Amino acid sequence: MQEKKERLQKILSASGIASRREAERMIIDGRVLVNGIPAVTGQLAQLGADEISVDGIALSPPDKRIYIMLNKPRGYLSTVKDERGRRTVMELVADVNERLFPVGRLDLNSEGLLLFTNDGEFANEIMHPSFNKQKTYEAEVSGNAYNAARLMRSPIDIDGHTVKACSVILSKATEKGGVLRITIIEGRNRQIRKMCSACGVSVITLKRTSIGELELGRLESGKWRYLTDKEVSALGKGHITHN
């Protein structure tokens, strides 16, 4: 039981319901009740002292914290559900038999390392730029890959925000383009694709290969595995798994 009242977004996140941003949307949509009354954003509550429900289901802390990694294939949305009935990454981790949510996003046509958890604080540490979690991608591009790599090492304006890659390496040159190894921190919506476009190249395939010290390694496409205690601690400042 929590000792004091906290913002509902934080309670929902810490209980593994969703990220804080998604929890706020749930509240706005009227899906969250506190003591039988629709909640409002910014509202304070205390889990245990107040009756909190989401979609009619009473909220309780998860029995155990779960942390897994998936090698996401192309063609899946990185969301819990899709109103249009399209495939989501939740189908690929359905056999975990725990309520999980994806940490951050990879767009429909991107692949690679995607984390899942029921620990909202851990998810926030991975996603928020203030924690400086580097994310590395391999982008196969068409166009002048050498010039794009050079341009991408300098600040670029994307949707009114100035972004800059931590590092960009042309790891392979081809007749039509090449493969860029790009490391960033911000992780804005479709950032890698937009950076490539701004630098004159088009993305053919995009794959996330690492988050912080965690690497995708040889995990097969569409497969998942639990993170080790060491991996979780390295990513989330001391969180411990209980598989």
Active site residues: 107
**Are the beta carbons of 101 and 117 closer than 8 angstroms?**
yes
Q: List the structure tokens of 151.
A: 């341009």
Rounded Cα–Cα distance for residues 165 and 186 (Å): 9
Find, among 165, 161, 241, the residue nearest to 199 by Cα.
165
What angle, 0 to 180 degrees and rounded to 10, lies between the N-to-C axes of helices 120-127 and 20-28? Answer: 110
Say how far residue 150 (Cα) sits from the centre of its chain.
Answer: 28
Say how far residue 134 (Cα) sits from the centre of its chain.
Answer: 12
What angle, 0 to 180 degrees and rounded to 10, lies between the N-to-C axes of helices 229-236 and 120-127? Answer: 60
- Strand pairing class (111-117; 67-72): antiparallel
What angle, 0 to 180 degrees and rounded to 10, lies between the N-to-C axes of helices 145-152 and 191-198? Answer: 110
